[in-house]
Structure 1
Amino acid sequence: MRSTMLAMLLVFSAIFPRLLHAADEFTATDYSGVYDCKGVDGHEGEYAGTVTLSIRPAYSSGNYASYDFKLEVPEYGAYLGHAAGNGNHLAMHFALTDPASRDFGTGIAKFRTDAQGRQTFHKFYFQPEYKGGNSGIEDCVKR
């Protein structure tokens, strides 16, 4: 009896926080979409690319959002990752699909609406292992 109650308590304690989290309605702005980006990389210089953000509703609630992230840069490839948002700030992890390059990093972005009513973001990123370390900035506009 005691072990059964303990097992039920463990199961309930594992499920209950998720149920509470799932009950919170998502109230933040959904930044999902395709963005045209221009950036300046510390090693590679100027570049252009496309960012695609796709919200993960099951893991988004209140002011918090979870996304799948993809950056495509011609002549370099696709960087896949994920992002976590709080309001108009989004942190993201990304990695080139070829792991041998050590081309991966973490970025932080701030979203805003420009004078034309378009969603935009400005991102700073850090890559601890790419060519001995690297950083850069990126400005993106939603299509």
Structure 2
Amino acid sequence: MKWLATLLACTLAAPVFAMDLSGVYACKGNDAHEGKYTGTVTMKLRPEHSKGKDASYDFQLEVPDYGTYTGHAAVHGMHAAMHFALPMEQGEYGGKTNDYGTGIAEFRKNSNGQLRFRKFYFEPGFKGGNTGVEECIRK
């Protein structure tokens, strides 16, 4: 039984690492002002700024006819806070329409084992304030 206590102690002391959420995701969204849309999210792990369950990512969302939103995500386990904005070369911060915001997402695997997430976002400056939801699945 001493071996069991040693095994348990080693298991409890072992570091826990978050699942790598990097990849390309196909998304369908519904924006309170703009309606339904599709897009592609790309997330890339920043290992130099990640430790254990806490991970950092570069974030990009490409939406046809709207532009490419860039940003970052701070992840704890399977939950992420995501900041995004149209880049400065498309206008002032958030573009001329103040199209920038913050989202919160929960990642999970579906019944087929594919990683997916649902994101709720808030854009305080876009058309007087805006919200939306995206459902994304990793390709």
Same fold (TM over 0.5): yes
Structure with a larger share of its residues in helix: 1
Instruction: Give aligned-pair identity as a percent.
Output: 57
Q: Deviations over 1:71-103 (max 9, x none)?
A: 000000100000000000010100012222200
2: CA distance between counterparts of 1:63 and 1:84? 11
Match of 1:89 among 59, 79, 89: 79
Does 2:116 align with 1:126?
A: no
What is the TM-score when the length of structure 2 is the normalising length?
0.84
**Matches of 1:83 and 1:32, distance apart in 2:** 11
Match in the other structure for 1:9? none
Question: Shift of residue 26 of structure 1?
Answer: 6.9
The TM-score normalised by the length of structure 1 is: 0.81
Deviations 1:15-52 (A, max 9, x none): xxxxxxxxxx6710010000000000000000000000
Q: Rg: which structure is higher?
A: 1
- AA paired with 1:80? T
Asked if the contact 1:26/1:64 (under 8 Å) is kept, the reply is no
Q: Secondary structure at the match of 1:83?
A: strand
User: Alignment partner for residue 105 of structure 2, among 109, 124, 134?
Assistant: 109
- Pick closer, same or farther for the CA change 1:141–1:104 going to 2, 3 Å: same
Is the CA contact 1:38–1:139 (under 8 Å) kept in the aligned structure 2? yes
Alignment of 1:40-59 (within 5 A): 40-59=30-49
- Describe how 1:1-143 pairs up with structure 2 within 5 A: 27-97=17-87, 98=90, 99-143=95-139
How far 1:135 sits from its partner (Å)? 0.2
Alignment coverage as a number of residue pairs: 120
Matches of 1:88 and 1:116, distance apart in 2: 18
Query: How well do the aligned residues superpose, as a CA RMSD in angstroms?
Result: 1.3
Structure 1 segments (4+ residues) deviating >6 Å: none
List gaps (5 residues or longer) in structure 1: 1-24
